[in-house]
Amino acid sequence: KAGVTQTPRYLIKTRGQQVTLSCSPISGHRSVSWYQQTPGQGLQFLFEYFSETQRNKGNFPGRFSGRQFSNSRSEMNVSTLELGDSALYLCASSSGTATDTQYFGPGTRLTVL
Amino acid sequence: DQQVKQNSPSLSVQEGRISILNCDYTNSMFDYFLWYKKYPAEGPTFLISISSIKDKNEDGRFTVFLNKSAKHLSLHIVPSQPGDSAVYFCARPTGANNLFFGTGTRLTVIP
C-alpha cells in the first residue's frame, strides 16, 4: 500500500505571496490532518478534513485554509505569506476515528524570504 | 494548558543499553497516548500506543509504560541501536484526528 505523499517537497516563496500544498492520503483513508512544525513551536495541528468537511481547526489565522476533494486528496493554502510561516508542513491520513493511527507524509519544507 | 509535556530535550545512550524517554500529561477523560519517531526532513513515524485500560504495551524492542496515578508515560527501547537516533514525540488525541504533540526528545545512540 502506498504511503502518504506530499507535493512539492520543497518550496521557496517571498513575503506576501500565496502557496498551495498538496497531500494524497493512503488509499481508503478518509481523514487528512495538517500540521506545522517549526523549531520554536514544535508540531502544531492546523486542521483536519473528513469526507470533504473540515471537522477540526487549530489555533491558526484565517490565512491558513484547506480543502478536501471527493477522492480524499487534500490541499492547504497559505495566503499573504509571512516570514514566520517558514516551516515543515506535514499531512497525516487515517481512517477517521480518534484512536486510529495517523500516518504522516514526508512533509513540504516551505521557506519564506 | 499543555496536554503532554516532554521535559528532556535530549538524551544520549550507549549502543546496547536501555533508552528511557519520558512524558507527563494533564487530566483528560480519555487516556490514549502515542509515540512517534522522527528523522530530519521526514514525517513522524508511528511507533507504539497505549490506552488507559493497560499499563504496559510492548512491541519488539519498544515498550510503553503508563502510570495513571502519576500521569506519566515512558518509552523504553532495549537494546538501543544507532538507527534509533531520532527525535521522539509523545502525543495524545484532543479530538477527532487532532493530535497534540510534546516538544520532543532527541535521542542519540552512541556506537
pLDDT value at B8 more than 90: yes
Nearest to B97 among A44, A102, A106 (CB): A102
User: C-alpha cell of A110?
Assistant: 516551505
Nearest to B101 among A43, A94, A98 (CB): A43
**Residue range B68-83: average pLDDT?**
95
**What residues of chain B lie within 8 A of the CB of A105, using their CB?**
43
Alpha-carbon distances of A38 from A67, A89, B50, B80, rounded to whole Å: 23, 9, 27, 28
With pLDDT > 70 as the criterion, what percentage of chain B qualifies?
94
Mark yes or no for CB contact A98/B96 under 8 Å: yes
Alpha-carbon distances of B74 from A48, B28, B46, B70, B98, rounded to whole Å: 28, 18, 15, 11, 21
Mark yes or no for CB contact A97/B96 under 8 Å: yes
pLDDT (0 to 100) of residue A48: 94
Amino acid at B61: R
DSSP string, A46-81: EEEEETTEEEEE-S--TTEEEEE-TTS-EEEEE-S-
pLDDT (0 to 100) of residue B2: 62
Ramachandran assignment for A51, one of left (phi > 0), alpha (psi -120 to 50 degrees), beta (any other) = left
pLDDT tens digits in sequence order for chain A, 113 residues long: 679 999 999 999 999 999 999 999 999 999 999 999 998 888 999 999 999 999 989 999 999 999 999 999 999 999 999 999 999 999 999 988 777 889 999 999 999 99
CA distance B26 to chain A (A): 18
Yes or no: say if A75 and A21 are a contact pair by the CB < 8 Å rule.
yes
Q: How many whole angstroms separate alpha carbon A44 and alpha carbon A91? A: 11
Q: Is the dihedral of CA B51, A39, A20, A47 positive or negative?
A: positive
Neighbouring C-beta atoms of residue A75, cutoff 10 Å: 17
Q: How many whole angstroms separate alpha carbon A50 and alpha carbon A54? A: 6
CA distance A18 to chain B (A): 23
Question: Which residues, numbered 3 to 62 in chain B, qualify as contacts with chain A under a Cβ-Cβ cut-off of 8 Å?
Answer: 30, 32, 34, 36, 41-46, 49, 51
Q: Which residues contact A50 (CB under 8 A, 6 or more apart)?
A: A30, A31, A32, A68, A96, B96, B97
**What residues of chain B lie within 8 A of the CB of A109, using their CB?**
41
pLDDT (0 to 100) of residue B52: 84
**What residues of chain B lie within 8 A of the CB of A48, using their CB?**
95-98
**What residues of chain B lie within 8 A of the CB of A56, using their CB?**
95-98
Q: How many whole angstroms separate alpha carbon B65 and alpha carbon B78? A: 14
pLDDT (0 to 100) of residue B31: 76
Cell 533508552 -> residue: B19
CA distance B62 to chain A (A): 17
